[in-house]
């Protein structure tokens, strides 16, 4: 059985290692966003990502192991204080996940090879007006295609 949490941890680590910025799993990480009250002297915005595992429905494989191959999608939400910073964060996050292609990960009962990383959605910029000044977000979707190694 594939332990999805282990693959999710690998995705988070790949982004955090590449960007050296905060990355959370299904929630905003500590250290990301505003430090101090927005719009006051000394306040800063640290760009960050949130990785969310999506529902994985497609499975295939051999007769002996019909679920040996899986397509596991993830939403990557990137945030920045400026549109350019947001797109930079999103670009870095997608590149980090794409670099996982052709690597092997241990997911519970065995090793799995990440055969393909497909970027399904490159999201548009969304302005978040809950603070003053506003910040920006972008939501991308990537799918990791894995097979038992």
Residue-by-residue DSSP string for 71-111: EEEEEEEEEESSHHHHHHHHHHHHHHHHTTTT-EEE-BSSE
pLDDT of residue 17: 97
Core vs surface per residue 28-65: b (16+ CB within 10 A) or e: ebeebbbeeebeeeeeebebbbbbbbeebeeeeeeeee
Percentage with pLDDT > 70 across the chain: 93
pLDDT tens digits for range 43-102: 899 999 999 999 987 666 665 665 668 999 999 999 999 999 999 999 999 999 999 999
**Number of residues that make up the chain:** 149
In sequence order, what are the beta bridge partners of 48?
Answer: 79
pLDDT of residue 149: 83
CATH 3.30.2000.30 corresponds to the domain 4-27+43-148: yes
pTM for the model stands at 0.91
């Amino acid at each position: 059985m594939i332990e999805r949490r282990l693959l999710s941890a690998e995705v988070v680590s790949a982004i955090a290692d590449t960007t050296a910025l905060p990355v959370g799993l299904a929630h905003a990480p500590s250290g990301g966003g505003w430090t101090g009250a927005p719009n006051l002297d000394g306040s800063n915005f640290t760009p960050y990502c949130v990785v969310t595992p999506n529902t994985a429905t497609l499975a295939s494989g051999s007769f002996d192991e019909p679920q040996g191959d899986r397509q596991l999608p993830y939403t990557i939400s990137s945030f920045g204080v400026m549109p350019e910073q947001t797109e930079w964060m999103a670009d870095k996050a997608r590149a980090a996940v794409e670099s996982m292609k052709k690597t092997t990960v241990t997911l519970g009962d065995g090793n799995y090879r990440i055969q393909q990383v497909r970027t399904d959605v490159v999201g548009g910029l969304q302005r978040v007006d809950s603070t003053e000044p506003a910040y920006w977000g972008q939501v991308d979707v990537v799918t990791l295609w894995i097979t038992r190694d």
